[in-house]
Amino acid sequence: MRYSEELIEEVRERNDIVDVISGYVSLKKKGTSYFGLCPFHNEKSPSFSVSREKQMYYCFGCGQGGDVFGFLMEYNRLSFLEALQDLAGRAGIELPEQDQTPQEKQEADARLVLKEMNKAAAVYYHWNLLHSKRGEKARAYLENRGISLEMIKHFGLGYADLYRDGLYQYLRGKGYTDLQLKDSSLVTIDTIKGSYDRFFNRVMFPIMDVNQRVVGFGGRVMGDGEPKYLNSRETILFDKGRNLYGLNYARRSREKSIILCEGYMDVISLHQAGFTNAVAPLGTAFTTGQAMLLKRYVQEVVLAFDSDGAGIKAALRALPILREAGLRGKVLSLKPYKDPDEMIKAEGKEAFQKSLDHAQAGRMFELDVLHDQYNQNDPDSRTEFVREMAKKLAEIEEEVERTAYVSAAANHFMVKEKDLQNLVNRYGLGYQFEKANQRYKREPETAERTEARKTEQQSQPPRLLLTWLIEHPEIYPVIRKTIQPDDFLQPLHHSVALMMFDQLDRGEPIFPAGILVKFTDAEEKKEVAALFSTRLKYEPDPEQNDKALSDIVRKVKLASIEDEMTHTNDITRWQELIAQKNKIQRLDLHIYNK
């Protein structure tokens, strides 16, 4: 850690964790803590807690936890240094210039260079589109598609020329070296064939991250070349599964839902028509990472995919992903038009808005698709359809939701509600049974698993002892006679114990955030936060408490003694340890039951 501990502590103190997290998660006060829906896993009732007193957060559902730095690191995928800079900025604290390790410096430099290079490329393409002679046909193409100059500028559209190395020469002229260009995914460096641009003769769509930085490009070929759309490869800046085209604008639209469409052109024409909440995946299928990204901004996603077979397939794939992420998925009907653009051109934005208002619930859409696969005039086929529908409905876990869908489906497909409900109940039983079976199915035993369980068991007592000390520091004077920080063998526990024992020795209360701040690794923060958040099963019976605590102390001390015995060559020390071991085995604490 290269910034002083005092400075880091100051940054933490000046950023109240409840205030910071409130900016990302809606929190409600409950007792001494604040609760909200966890942003790190999908849940329906809040188990994500933030404590102003402890200045830490912890999720009782998935175990994510940490201090204010850890939250920003997890949520925004930042390094510790970046989180520190962000929080210092919020609090108006100026950070002194820093020496980085050579590796950190190299990485930071590479990212910076790539950011600037992408920006330069975007400017180059944009200029080509607007001002170059050859850019004319790209301008004509966009004009033909009805894209206004305002939108061209808003999205920074561009044109990659016919020259095979126009951009390469431009970037070299700006002083970038082949070594820097090599990892940009903008050009291909080839010592034999010569270096050439990745994109040529294409309309260019700069892809921006939520912070408006160009991280990659999509390019549509002019004419009939293949592939029709080409995207940047992934780079240190560009992760296709965690970005969406247009999200940099859509996230600020303040609409209650996001419109997910197929491609760049759909997004642009929707934004042009005033639907500034439209986004699209980046040339690949919709991913879980993208769903989680959307969940930060909305609860509902409306799919506006093409009305052809491929669009229906894409919707059927996206809906379960949305559900998994805890988002409500709806499907917009574009029929008889092919895509959003065609519909708006033919009937105006009011018609599109109307379609949007009447978007179908995802599950009903799935049932409609199922319906069309069966011949409804044939009794056997019709029966088969009703069975398949009941199976699908039986998968809905929440009863209220399931009943609502059974009723809606019965109505929509003209089946007797009672019959459908009976069928759903029948399949439901089997389904729940199967799920329970999966849950309890034991996985085969392997050496690795045995080892993992052993480590887990060994780390249990030290962890419990630390948690106990945090929750009930009054036991410290007695514990201190037997246990020293060095008895905590695991490095993380050892560090926490050192700090805690030091605070307790000085008669200070234990302040979780003050200890958490010393750990800069997100994984470590999470583990320490778990220590501070575990609730002990506190027995009302003092005798039971003494027994449990003695047992824990004994296990921790014995493990520590045995560890030393395997490492010492000193015979006198060995004998001392044997004597200690005998004594510890008889240890019987009387704290609660005096």
User: Which spans of this chain sit near Zn ion (rule: CB under 5 A)?
Assistant: 38, 40-41, 59, 61-62
Closest separation in Å from C-beta 530 to Zn ion: 12
**Which is nearer to Zn ion, 40 or 532 (by Cβ)?**
40
Instruction: Give the count of beta carbons closer than 10 Å to the beta carbon of residue 401.
Output: 12
Closest separation in Å from C-beta 64 to Zn ion: 5
Closest separation in Å from C-beta 526 to Zn ion: 11
The 3 state secondary structure assigned to 420-463 is HHHHHHHHHHHHHHHHHHHHHCCCCCCHHHHHHHHHHHHHHHHH
Token couple for 131: 């001002």
Burial 367-391 (b: 16+ CB within 10 A, else e): bbebbeebeeeeeeebeebbebbbb
**Which is nearer to Zn ion, 38 or 393 (by Cβ)?**
38
Query: Which distant-in-sequence residues (6+ apart) come within 8 Å of 198 by Cβ?
Result: 185, 186, 187, 188, 230, 232
**Which is nearer to Zn ion, 48 or 365 (by Cβ)?**
48
Q: How far apart are CA 86 and CA 122, in angstroms?
A: 27
Identify whether the C-beta of residue 187 lies closer than 8 Å to the C-beta of residue 169: no
Token couple for 555: 């296990």
Closest separation in Å from C-beta 49 to Zn ion: 10
Nearest residue to 476 via CA among 583, 594, 585, 591? 591
**Which is nearer to Zn ion, 139 or 295 (by Cβ)?**
295
Instruction: Give the count of beta carbons closer than 10 Å to the beta carbon of residue 439.
Output: 7
Identify whether the C-beta of residue 50 lies closer than 8 Å to the C-beta of residue 17: yes
**Which is nearer to Zn ion, 47 or 459 (by Cβ)?**
47
- Which helix (H) or strand (E) segment holds residue 187: the answer is strand 187-188
Asked if omega into 336 is within 30° of 0 (cis), the reply is yes
Q: How far apart are CA 88 and CA 548, in angstroms?
A: 44
Closest separation in Å from C-beta 349 to Zn ion: 39
Identify whether the C-beta of residue 178 lies closer than 8 Å to the C-beta of residue 195: yes
Closest separation in Å from C-beta 50 to Zn ion: 12
**Which is nearer to Zn ion, 61 or 283 (by Cβ)?**
61
Closest separation in Å from C-beta 514 to Zn ion: 24
Q: How far apart are CA 69 and CA 73, in angstroms?
A: 6
Instruction: Give the count of beta carbons closer than 10 Å to the beta carbon of residue 477.
Output: 10
Closest separation in Å from C-beta 31 to Zn ion: 19
**Which is nearer to Zn ion, 46 or 329 (by Cβ)?**
46
Q: Cβ-count burial of 395 within 10 angstroms (0-12 exposed, 13-18 middle, 19+ buried)?
A: middle
Closest separation in Å from C-beta 291 to Zn ion: 16
Q: How far apart are CA 396 and CA 393, in angstroms?
A: 6
Asked if omega into 512 is within 30° of 0 (cis), the reply is no
What 8-state DSSP symbol labels residue 280? Answer: B
Closest separation in Å from C-beta 36 to Zn ion: 10
**Which is nearer to Zn ion, 40 or 286 (by Cβ)?**
40
**Which is nearer to Zn ion, 35 or 125 (by Cβ)?**
35
Closest separation in Å from C-beta 508 to Zn ion: 31
> What CA dihedral angle connects 345, 350, 356 and 360, to 10 degrees?
-90
**Which is nearer to Zn ion, 75 or 592 (by Cβ)?**
75
**Which is nearer to Zn ion, 63 or 485 (by Cβ)?**
63
**Which is nearer to Zn ion, 43 or 576 (by Cβ)?**
43
Closest separation in Å from C-beta 524 to Zn ion: 18
Q: How far apart are CA 427 and CA 407, in angstroms?
A: 16
